[in-house]
Amino acid sequence: MQETDVRALLLAERAATLARLASMTDEFEEIVASAAGSNSDDEHDPEGSTVAYERAQVAALLREARAMLDDLERALAKFEAGRYGECESCGAEIAPARLAARPAARNCIACAAAPRPGG
């Protein structure tokens, strides 16, 4: 993949992630607003557990999208520094197929598959 294609791909992924974050933030705010005027006793409100579940689910998706945005920002910075495609753990080249599938990949497959300490 050529450098201009890599940069364009990272910027497109970043734009899509920002749009997804904006949409999910709106959804989260709607859930919170709808719950604000309702019975706050989730234990006895038949809809309470559903609202709490939806809120938790969207919050988790927001965390994931923010982490993805951080990874994309890091990948763009590495690209600008001429280090895009370098494994952050071992310094080896990340396989082009892995980068094609996960443009913001931070580690080569070997390091990504290695057991983590304490995990």
Are residues 21 and 44 located together in one domain of the fold?
yes
Are residues 110 and 94 located together in one domain of the fold?
yes
CB within 8 Å of 27: residues ≥ 6 apart: 58
Are residues 10 and 39 located together in one domain of the fold?
yes
Amino acid at 94: I
Are residues 56 and 110 located together in one domain of the fold?
no
Are residues 66 and 119 located together in one domain of the fold?
no
pLDDT score, position 47: 56
Amino acid at 113: A
What's the pTM value of the predicted model, to 2 decimals?
0.78
Are residues 69 and 12 located together in one domain of the fold?
yes
pLDDT score, position 115: 87
**What's the total number of domains in the chain?**
2
Local structure of 119: helix, strand or coil:
coil
Burial of 75 by CB count in 10 Å (0-12 exposed, 13-18 middle, 19+ buried)? buried
The rounded distance, in Å, linking the Cα atoms of 84 and 79 is 4
Are residues 61 and 41 located together in one domain of the fold?
yes
For residue 41, give both structure tokens: 């006793």
Q: The domain containing residue 60 runs over which residues?
A: 3-84
Amino acid at 9: L
Taking residues 39-60, report their average pLDDT: 73
**Residue 38: pLDDT above 70?**
no
Are residues 42 and 8 located together in one domain of the fold?
yes
Q: Please give the residue that has the higher pLDDT: either 90 or 118.
A: 90
**Residue 3: pLDDT above 80?**
no
81-117, pLDDT tens digit by residue? Answer: 999 999 999 999 999 999 999 999 999 999 999 987 7
Are residues 73 and 95 located together in one domain of the fold?
no
